[in-house]
């Protein structure tokens, strides 16, 4: 069974990498400009370990408790994984998350940023984060309103143990490819307006299994892919 898992995961990863490369070529960009975040929330530790063995060691989890459990699983604990939290984070779960992850990609309030800064100081680290922006305006989504982002960035000097490396968004839940591209283009344009030499905001985390090609065409540097990696397991 292990051999079957490894073969299926390698095949799925190769297809996703080919789609990324094709989209990058269409955008006139080198494929290595886009980081693949393998979303492992759909599968157990054994399948996740197979993905790492196949060459994808940047992993995203949406729920803090699942991330902690995966990071501590015997199959994964000793692997060189860069864990990223890609889902909503409550402040009472910040301390353990900061101790575990390479990045928190879903910061959606200054109160959360303050909690992360405090936990990072206690760990003796600078915590990389992305600021989540609700470009679609969907009421059920978390994230800063685009119009609020300049004021948020003006407060960052108060959080010396946090490094904001970029922005994250999701396309509208109900929308077509053109809607997704508009949402992604809006985040890129917002980044271009607010970035400075001291805060370049180089990372744009945009695009998931159903729309990452559109995101790459609009400048995404990081795509969060789950279901396309786990065909045959779901």
In the chain, the largest separation of any two C-alpha atoms, in whole Å, equals 53
The answer to whether residue 100 sits within a structural domain is yes
Report the alpha-carbon distance of residue 151 to residue 25 in Å, rounded: 36
Neighbours of 88 (CB within 10 A): 16
Average pLDDT over residues 16-34: 97
- pLDDT for 1: 43
User: At 35, which helix (H) or strand (E)?
Assistant: strand 35-39
Provide the residue range defining the domain that includes 159.
Answer: 2-229
Q: Residues 34-69: pLDDT tens digits? A: 999 999 999 999 999 999 999 999 999 999 999 999
Q: Residues 128-184: pLDDT tens digits? A: 999 999 998 887 889 999 999 999 999 999 999 999 999 999 998 877 899 999 999
The answer to whether residue 13 sits within a structural domain is yes
The number of domains in the chain is 1
| Three-state DSSP class for residue 168 | strand
Contact 18, 212 (CB under 8 A): no
Which tokens go with 180?
Answer: 């997704």
* The residue to which tokens 């600021």 are assigned: 131
The answer to whether residue 234 sits within a structural domain is no
The answer to whether residue 171 sits within a structural domain is yes
Q: Mark residue 207 as left, alpha or beta (left: phi above 0; alpha: psi -120 to 50; beta: remaining).
A: left
The answer to whether residue 63 sits within a structural domain is yes
pTM comes to 0.95
- Residue 118 sits in a domain whose CATH number is 3.20.20.10
Average pLDDT over residues 94-109: 98
- Tell me how many degrees the CA angle 138-140-145 measures, rounded to the nearest 5: 55
């Amino acid at each position: 069974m292990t051999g079957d898992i490894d073969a299926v995961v390698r095949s799925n990863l190769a297809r996703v990498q080919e789609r990324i490369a094709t989209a990058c070529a269409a955008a006139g960009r080198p494929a290595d400009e886009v980081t693949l975040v393998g979303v492992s929330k759909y599968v157990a530790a054994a399948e996740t370990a197979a993905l790492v063995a196949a060459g994808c060691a940047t992993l995203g989890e949406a729920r803090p408790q699942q991330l902690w459990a995966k990071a501590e699983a015997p199959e994964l604990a000793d692997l060189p994984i860069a864990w990223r939290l890609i889902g909503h984070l409550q402040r009472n779960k910040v301390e353990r998350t900061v101790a575990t992850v390479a990045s928190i990609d879903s910061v959606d309030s200054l109160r959360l940023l303050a909690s992360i800064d405090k936990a990072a100081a206690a760990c003796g680290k600078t915590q990389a984060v992305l600021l989540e922006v609700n470009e679609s305006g969907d009421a059920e989504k978390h994230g800063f309103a685009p119009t609020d982002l300049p004021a948020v960035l003006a407060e960052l000097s108060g959080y010396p143990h946090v490094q904001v490396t970029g922005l994250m968004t999701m396309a509208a839940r109900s929308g077509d490819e053109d809607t997704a591209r508009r949402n992604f283009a809006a985040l890129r344009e917002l980044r271009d307006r607010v970035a400075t030499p001291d805060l370049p905001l180089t990372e744009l985390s945009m695009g998931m299994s159903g729309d990452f090609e559109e995101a790459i065409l609009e400048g995404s540097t990081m795509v969060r892919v789950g279901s396309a990696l786990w065909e045959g397991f779901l």
